[in-house]
Chains A and B, each alone.
Chain A
Amino acid sequence: MADVADTTFHDPEPRRSFLAALLALGTSTVGALLAIPLARMALDPLWRTTTEVLWSDAGPAKDFGVITAPVKVQLTIEQRDGWRKVLSEKAVYVLKGADGRPRALSAVCPHLGCSIGWSDEKGQFVCPCHNGAFAADGTLISGPPPRGMDELDARIEEGRLKIRYQYFRQLVPTKEVLA
């Protein structure tokens, strides 16, 4: 009996299987066409990542002229989060560069994104997650991070220190801007 059933399904008439192929092709084409708007909708956030990066105020530049060790500063940045606007606080370290001008380092570890802390007794930056250690100028000393701490654009404007907060890709040896 099973054999009989098997042969009836394989239609001997080539016209019928040609029709089936045509149907399959037609329906998958229509299906693919209908999937385009859906895919666009789902992928929308991918081409909406980079918004304009704004400069945030970190305080009077003079205050940073006297520092001897890196200082942690909370920046308030305005971000678009999908359909809403949010203010978020981001920690950055301000230190004095070799030329005496303030430099800013992101506190986000380039390894896996933990928050790096400054240790006064060691005189180093230490990431609490996986023991990455960085010198006071942010260069990598030891541990798993692939690069030193990420420097942020900083400039002095009308006597105030302005910092441009950005995110960088983790786990790569070079600094790549994400947003």
Chain B
Amino acid sequence: MKRQLGDWLDRRTGIRGLLRAALDEPIPGGASFAYVFGSALLFLFLSQVITGVFLALYYVPSADHAHTTVAYVVKVVSSGSFVHSLHVYGSSAIIIVLLLHIGQTILFGSYKGYRELLWLSGCVLMALMLAMAFTGYLLPWDQKAYFATAVSTNIFALPLIGSWFKQFVRGGNELGTLTISRFFVAHVFLLPAAVFAFVGMHVYLFRRVGAAGAPTARTGRASTSFYPRQMLMDIAFTTVLILALGTLAWWLPAELGPEANAADTRFLPRPEWYYVPMFQWLKYWEGQRAVIGIFVIPMLIGALFAGLPFVDRGTERRPWRRPFTVGLFAALMLALVTLGMTSYAQDRRDPAVARQLDFQRDAMRVFMSQPFEPEESARSLRGANAALVALSDPLVAHGRTIFEAQSCDACHGADGHGTESAPSLVGAAARHPSGELSRVIRTPTAKMADSGMQPLDIPDDDLAALSAYVAGLK
């Protein structure tokens, strides 16, 4: 039965050949835990896609609603906080595993031997992942998202590139609702599409040139196939990641801060940990020289990094025989760690900064502990504040002219506050809710008619305006 089903499917899809090709991939020197990071990254990316899709069930990319909708997910929706946390922590996990993947590749010299394009597609994927983290950070539109992005998008305003680029990224001079739309489109449409394309390319190139395997030709250890040993190792590591992310998301849910408030001048923006080294680095570059620090040096490092397989062309793969490359990478990592730690140390050392950061952390905790506050829709707000918007609304203003033209003010007073011959109209809307107000204006009730109120024969539009004016009286 199973056999027959397999045959039926295979004849139509060639699934067995596909599986065989996927699973029998040879790994020179045998399976190793050093090779698990690529699969883990693929898993993490898919996890981000899936959790992201479910977050998008509730998220609205607009400055008016973004924060409310994320708060709704985090505070109200079943499992919302858990899925949101998986997404937030997943982005950090991707950066960590990415660094491990790159570190392993450099240590083992796995970028050598016709693997230039494989390496380059990996570099593009890293850039795309950093861009995903950058664009995703703004979307909740809380204080830290707003201010961190306000600062980081200023970097785009370098004289070299021109301030138009910053304006293009932000969708205007200021951070606003258009910025959210842009970041949202990049985060959920453009960047993921590019990631899928480059993952496809990365995997294809990898399978075409084959696994690099161990850097030393280990004697007596032949190449084995991916299945089952390497696959089991990949699964084991991915399981550890799932457990770690799940535990973290369960016990330490990712927090959302209070809604972005551009008027808050004391807020100290701090980026996510993986951007902290860059953040610290920018502190050392002032004035005209800033271009060098912000742009030239990172570009040079990036170019050197991407060009590694073109520069380091020897066949030697053992790390201890390539002290320059391995040393350079180690130095770069060390520099980033030092920069990051310096930044945290500086924040702790300055009492004013430390106090403000503590305050921000507390504000976040307070916000998280408050119950969810539904957003008043424009209509319900209008109902509540009808009096406030009175006269700024053209309909209401038109209503006032009718109020005067029809001599309503003769009895009800100039501002509808009432005279001896007729009562005040303040609160009339509450006594006659909804459409009833217009009805009694046009056709007064018996009691109203008794006290002298005349039926009012005016067009429907005018009646609506008049009712709006009367409803707004206070």
Inside 8 A of B432's CB, which chain A residues have their CB? 59
Are the CB atoms of A83 and B242 closer together than 8 Å? no
Query: Is B17 within 8 A of A27, CB to CB?
Result: no
Name the A residues within 8 Å of B434 (CB-CB).
73-76, 89
B71: A residues at CB distance < 8 A: 83
A81 interface residue (CB < 8 Å to B) = yes
Nearest CB to that of A26 among chain B residues? Answer: B235
Given contacts A42-B57, A44-B78, A44-B80, contact A5 B17 (CB under 8 A): yes
Pair B16/A9 contact, Cβ less than 8 Å: yes
| Per-position binary interface string of chain B over residues 355-383, scored 1 when its CB falls under 8 Å from any chain A CB and 0 otherwise | 00000000000000000101111011001
B383 in contact with A84 (CB, 8 Å): no
Task: Report B-chain residues with C-beta under 8 Å of the C-beta of A85.
Answer: 374-377, 380
Instruction: Decide: A19 near B375, CB < 8 A? Known: A34-B242, A41-B77, A63-B445.
Output: no
CA–CA, A36 to B250, complex, Å?
14
Closest to B57 in A: A42
Q: Is B79 positioned at the interface, with any CB of A under 8 Å from its CB? A: yes
The answer to whether B375 and A44 touch across the interface, beta carbons within 8 angstroms, is: no
Partner of B379, one of A30, A59, A87: A87
Shortest beta-carbon distance, B182 to chain A, in Å?
23
Contact, CB under 8 Å: A41 / B79: yes
Write out the residue numbers on chain A whose beta carbons fall within 8 Å of the beta carbon of B235.
23, 26-27
Given contacts A30-B239, A85-B374, whether A44 and B77 have CB atoms under 8 Å apart is yes
The answer to whether B436 touches A38, judged by C-beta atoms less than 8 angstroms apart, is no
Give complex CA distance A153, B232 in Å.
64
Quick check: is A78 within 8 A (CB to CB) of the other chain? yes
Chain A interface residue number, banded:
35 or more
CA distance A19 to B232 in the complex (A): 10
Report if A14 contacts B (CB, 8 A). Answer: no
* Structural contact, B436 and A59, CB atoms closer than 8 A: yes
Q: How far is the CB of A77 from chain B (nearest CB, A)?
A: 10
Task: Give bound CA distance, A174 to B458, whole Å.
Answer: 44
Q: Does B54 contact A86, Cβ atoms closer than 8 Å? A: no
Min C-beta distance of A69 to chain B, whole Å: 15
CA distance A9 to B235 in the complex (A): 22
What distance in Å separates the Cβ of B339 from its nearest Cβ neighbour in chain A? Answer: 36
In angstroms, Cα B50 to Cα A41, docked, is 12
A5 to B232, CA, bound (A): 24
Can you list, as one digit per residue, whether each of B46-63 has a CB less than 8 Å from chain A (1) or not (0)? 000011001001100000
Residues of B within 8 A of A128 (CB): none
Kindly state the separation between the CA atoms of A59 and B432 in the bound complex, as whole angstroms.
6
Quote the shortest CB–CB distance from A37 to chain B (angstroms): 4
Least Cβ–Cβ distance between B51 and chain A, in angstroms:
8
Q: Which interface class (under 10, 10 to 19, 20 to 34, 35 or more) fits B?
A: 35 or more
Task: Answer whether residue A82 sits at the interface, using C-beta atoms and an 8 A cutoff.
Answer: yes
Among B441-469, those with CB < 8 Å from A are 445
Nearest CB of chain A from residue B64's CB, rounded to whole Å: 10
Q: Which chain B residues lie closer than 8 Å to A43 at the CB level?
A: 78
Give a binary string over A158-173; 1 marks a CB under 8 Å from any B CB, 0 the rest.
Answer: 0000000000000000
> Which residues of B have CB within 8 Å of A130?
none
Chain A CB within 8 A of B121 CB: no
Residues in B neighbouring A78, C-beta threshold 8 A: 380
Partner of A41, one of B20, B54, B372, B375: B54
- Residue in B78, B228, B375 whose CB lies within 8 Å of A40: B78
Is A38 touching B79 in the complex (CB atoms < 8 A)? yes
Given contacts A38-B79, A73-B436, contact A83 B379 (CB under 8 A): no
Asked if A86 and B377 make an inter-chain contact with CB atoms under 8 angstroms apart, the answer reads yes
Q: Write the nearest CB–CB distance from B375 to chain A, whole angstroms.
A: 4
Residues of chain B lying within 8 A (CB to CB) of residue A75: 434
Which residues of chain A have C-beta atoms less than 8 A from B80's C-beta? 41, 44
Smallest Cβ-Cβ distance to A84: which chain B residue: B375
Partner of A82, one of B72, B82, B86, B239: B72
| Chain B proximity mask over A34-54: 1 for CB below 8 Å, otherwise 0 | 101110111110010000000
A84 touches B377 (CB 8 A): yes
CB pair B239–A37 under 8 Å, yes or no, is no
Within 8 A of B (CB), among A58-104: 58-60, 62-63, 73-76, 78, 80-89
Tell yes or no: B396 within 8 A of A by CB: no
Q: Which residues of A contact B20 (CB under 8 A)?
A: 5, 8-9
Q: Return 29 A-B CB contacts under 8 Å, by A number.
A: A5-B17, A8-B20, A9-B19, A19-B228, A23-B228, A23-B231, A23-B232, A30-B239, A38-B79, A40-B78, A40-B79, A41-B79, A43-B78, A44-B77, A44-B78, A44-B80, A47-B78, A58-B436, A59-B433, A73-B436, A76-B434, A81-B377, A83-B76, A83-B374, A85-B377, A86-B377, A86-B380, A89-B434, A89-B435
Please provide the 4 A-B residue pairs with the shortest distance between their CB atoms, ordered closest to farther.
A37-B79, A83-B72, A40-B79, A74-B435
Q: Contacts A38-B83, A84-B374 known; list 9 others, CB within 8 Å.
A: A6-B16, A23-B235, A37-B82, A37-B86, A59-B432, A74-B436, A83-B68, A84-B65, A87-B379
